[in-house]
Structure 1
Amino acid sequence: MKRIALFHLETLMWIDRLGTFAAAAQRLNTTQPAISARVREIEEQLGLSLFQREGRRMVLTTRGRRLIQQCEPLCHDLEKALLEASDFAGAAGAVRIGSGEIAAASCLPAWVQAIERERPGVTMEIELDLTARLMQQLLGGTRDIVFLAGPIASPAIRTAPIGSVALVWAASPEVARAGPETPDLPIWSLPDHSPLHRVTLATLEAAGRSRPTLHTCNNVRMLIEIVAQGRGAAVLPETMIRSQLARGELAEFLPRPEHVVHFEAAIRAQERDPIILDLFARAASLRIEPGTEGQCPESART
């Protein structure tokens, strides 16, 4: 009879987190048959069933859940002790990162550069998405760390503020000179679950243009291109258009909104993986600098 090894317990924890053997296999860089074999080995060793199928998901039995609850802190504490003993020199693994486009353009590059330099064994898998989907991915276990528009209030999520970005009503110089009373002027925004969408509606109402029809696009850089080509106006992040405003390629169209967009780094509240916690601690030191696009203070880069 084979002994239970740490990789058996790690396998159980990832199946529990991701819900399927296939997802756990992908996360652990192995095959689904290998995952099934590990589960059979530990079930044979213990003499009990750890999982039961519910639809497409594999769900822990009561005894399996208790095993994970008792073993997971021990596994992570052991891994943390080994990593700290080597000053994280042996830190390795894939960390799945999600970010909103504005946060990615404002501060993420410096953070990624620091991780590449100081944690060379850690592989980062980065995807850009909107805040609502980033939240779902984090809670669903398909993202480990996310950078999103806040504030976020959820007992299942632990957050750290990383700064805020001012917003600007912008248009091409020609559209700006014609003014906001231009008939049938197209107004563009991110989709309705974005903070920019809410700010757009609020400032238009304050300007007396209630219930406007908005065109939407889920990509901020595409919005900037649309506006720069004279095809409408939009509320845009100041950090992402500062250089175009300075060159005269864009112009301010309406008074700047009083609202700013706050950004946060977030992980699951119950996260215990020491590598993810280490990267989150580094993310918590980030500060979006309103004065320089794409830069962070020196403390975030060292």
Structure 2
Amino acid sequence: MRPTFAQLEAFYWVSRLGSLKEAARHLGLAPPTISLRIDQLEAELGSPVFERAGRGLILTQRGETMVPRVASVMEEYDKIRSIVDDNWQHSGVLRVGVPETFAQACLSDYMRIIAARYPALRLEFAVSTSSELEQDVLHRRLDIAFAINPTGDPKLTLVPLGIQPVVWAAAPRFNLPSPLHPSDLRGIVIITNPPPTPMWRQITEWFRQAGLEPHVICRCSSPTVVAQLVSTGLGASLLPRRLVQKSLAAGILRSFESALPLHPSRLFAIYRFADSDSITQEVIALARHAMAQTRLVEPEEN
């Protein structure tokens, strides 16, 4: 069995991007060429490495086993290229997922920092809820994501980045006390992201500490829109402080201390364990720098 580098390269990018078409576009080749290389690799191995799933491809068990080993080959190849050609830089596509608070607070700074470090790298950003971003990384729709309180999976690596401060917020007209107890919100609409998002879990866990459930719930998938609805006086919510700081400063909203412990909002970088490489680690380091500049997170207390 002697697979060629071209076959392994095709396998690596199809496994990372999820389709022959995307791998071909990344490598500057025709899709039939990529398909032929995968067929040749499978013939060498004597077993398939991909199965079709709708319009995309998913790894077989043998393919999953191969990914980290082939990834290490690709990383070593990148290092060799950087030695041979001092002008060579990381290029191609990097698919990054971020939650809305990250997007508002520091995405523009983050993009500038990455562009300065890797001008040949093409970035594709997805903005979504943390739970959706985690699933997108798990199923290879994203290369890396930044997410709040991910549930975790054996295939994923979670890198802690800090605590994102959250506050209970509501319009002054509700005349709520501080510290705030779940019983104080009886009859007030609780506006939240739908399950299984971190916001939903935090709010329901807070109420259950008091043996209560929210009386009336309004679900909205966008944290930014949740903050807007709360600002118009339609209800209360547990929100990232960064998302509502302007409304708090203007007196449109009030923030409240909590009478019960709040589950902290921990921000993590997440990527598939098999896909770890030098660019992944560098991108996470650059994210730390962008978040420090914008004070998006606070350090974890020991």
Worse-matched range after superposition: 46-55 or 245-254: 46-55
Give the match's secondary structure for 2:78: helix
Match of 2:116 in 1: 117
Distance (Å, rounded) in 2 between the aligned partners of 1:99 and 1:169? 23
Q: Any gaps of 5 or more consecutive residues in structure 1?
A: 298-302
The match for 2:92 is 93
Does structure 2 retain, via aligned residues, the 8 Å contact 1:170–1:253?
yes
Q: Tell me which amino acid in the other structure corresponds to 1:113.
A: R
Hey, what's the Cα distance between the residues in 2 that align with 1:210 and 1:61? 43
Q: Report how far residue 246 of structure 1 moved.
A: 1.1
What are the superposed Cα offsets for residues 4-45 of structure 1, whole Å, 9 maximum, x if unpaired?
Answer: 87444211222344554345345546543342244456679x
Could you tell me whether the CA contact under 8 Å between 1:134 and 1:148 is conserved in 2?
yes
| 1:236 equivalent among 230, 236, 239 | 239
Where do 5+ consecutive residues of structure 2 fail to align? none
Post-superposition offset of 1:88: 7.7
Matched, 1:248 2:251: yes
Does 1:227 find its partner at 2:226? no
Percent identity between the two aligned chains: 24
Q: Does 1:269 align with 2:268?
A: no
The amino acid across from 2:20 in the alignment is F
- Name the SS of the counterpart of 1:270 in structure 2: helix
What is the letter of the counterpart of residue 240 of structure 1?
L
From the superposition, tell whether residues 85 and 212 of structure 1 become closer, same or farther in structure 2 (CA, over 3 Å). Answer: farther
What TM-score do the two structures reach when normalised by structure 2? 0.77
**Secondary structure of 2:140's partner?**
coil
Residue 223 of structure 1: CA displacement? 0.8
Question: Which secondary structure state, in structure 2, belongs to the residue aligned with residue 120 of structure 1?
Answer: coil
Contact 2:100/2:223, CA 8 A, preserved across alignment: yes
The whole-number CA distance in structure 1 between the counterparts of 2:274 and 2:70 is 14
Structure 1: distance between partners of 2:46 and 2:206 = 61
Cα deviation 1:23-73 (Å, max 9, x = unaligned): 5345546543342244456679x69776575665476696x8888776543
Following TM superposition, by how much is the alpha carbon of 1:200 offset from its aligned partner in structure 2, in angstroms?
1.8
Structure 1 residues 187 and 288: alpha-carbon distance in aligned structure 2, compared to 1, 3 A threshold = farther
Letter in 2 for 1:187: I
Match of 1:282 among 262, 265, 286: 286
C-alpha distance in structure 2 between counterparts of 1:225 and 1:200, whole Å = 18
Whole-angstrom distance in 2 between the partners of 1:110 and 1:23: 28
Distance 1:108 1:81 in 2: 32
Tell whether 2:152 aligns with 1:161. Answer: no
Tell me the matched-pair count: 291
The alpha carbon displacement at 1:254 in A equals 6.4
Deviates more, 1:102-111 or 1:89-98: 102-111
Find the counterpart in structure 2 of residue 136 from structure 1.
135
Cα distance change on mapping 1:101 and 1:194 into 2, 3 Å: same
Change (3 A) 1:66 1:226: closer
- Partner amino acid for 1:271? D
Q: Distance in 1 between matches of 2:148 and 2:10?
A: 33
Counterpart-to-counterpart distance in 1, 2:95 and 2:215: 38
For the residues of structure 2 that align with 1:274 and 1:223, how far apart are their CA atoms?
Answer: 37
Assess, with a 3 A threshold, how the Cα gap between structure 1 residues 83 and 230 changes in structure 2: closer, same or farther: same
Q: Secondary structure at the match of 1:114?
A: helix
| Change over 3 Å in CA distance of 1:90–1:194 after alignment to 2 | same
Q: Return the offset for 1:94.
A: 0.8
SS at match of 1:236: strand
SS in 1 for 2:188: coil
Q: TM-score, length-normalised on structure 1?
A: 0.77
Question: Does the CA contact (< 8 Å) of 2:98 and 2:125 recur in 1?
Answer: yes
- CA deviation profile, 1:100-155 (whole Å, cap 9, x unmatched): 22233344443322111111111111101222222221121221111001265443
Cα distance change of structure 1 residues 144 and 174 upon mapping to structure 2, 3 Å threshold:
same
1:195 to 194, 198, 205: 198
Q: Give 3-state SS (helix, strand or coil) of 1:193's partner.
A: coil
1:185 corresponds to: 188
The amino acid across from 1:120 in the alignment is P
Maintained 8 Å contact 2:94/2:123:
yes
**Which residue of the partner structure matches residue 300 of structure 1?**
none
AA at the equivalent of 1:24: A
